[in-house]
Copies of this chain bind each other. A is one copy, B any other.
Amino acid sequence: MMRVVHKVWLDRGGKAFGDGPCDLLKGIEQTGSLHQAAADMGMSYSKAWRLIQTMEKRLGFALIERRIGGVSGGGSQTTSKAKTFMRRYEKFRAEVKDLTERTYQKHFGSVRLNH
């Protein structure tokens, strides 16, 4: 069975956003913690932190903000700008994935290969 594979990301003077960063931010939204989100992805805290820093620099806006104190002892949360950007990226991503698959089917759906 032949299939199409595709990768897509946003570039702004280097890789600025993509599936991995989006997943990390979603983890932060869900857990309220960069530590936890990184651990859930099998990523070291320092690597996750550097990734966020690099994306923020390239995109030009803050992606996460610290929550100080409180019952949970603080943590991180995505900024409102990050949330808007993530939702936009997720729609874009789903649409590109769907169009790539449809275009593949259009051109290669009828191709029969041996063995």
Contact residues of A with B, CB < 8 Å? 1-12, 15-16, 59-61, 85, 88-89, 91-92, 95-96, 99-100, 103-104, 106-108, 111, 113-115
Q: Is there an interface contact between A108 and B10, defined as CB atoms closer than 8 Å?
A: yes
In the assembled complex, 24 residue pairs joining A and B whose CB atoms fall closer than 8 Å, in A order, are: A2-B11, A2-B12, A3-B10, A3-B11, A3-B12, A4-B10, A4-B11, A5-B9, A5-B11, A5-B15, A6-B7, A7-B7, A10-B108, A12-B113, A59-B113, A60-B113, A88-B111, A89-B107, A91-B107, A92-B106, A92-B107, A95-B107, A96-B104, A100-B100
Closest approach, in angstroms, between the C-beta of A113 and any C-beta of chain B? 5
Closest approach, in angstroms, between the C-beta of A102 and any C-beta of chain B? 9
Shortest Cβ-Cβ A-B pairs, 10 listed: A60-B114, A92-B107, A6-B8, A2-B12, A99-B99, A7-B7, A60-B113, A60-B115, A5-B11, A95-B103
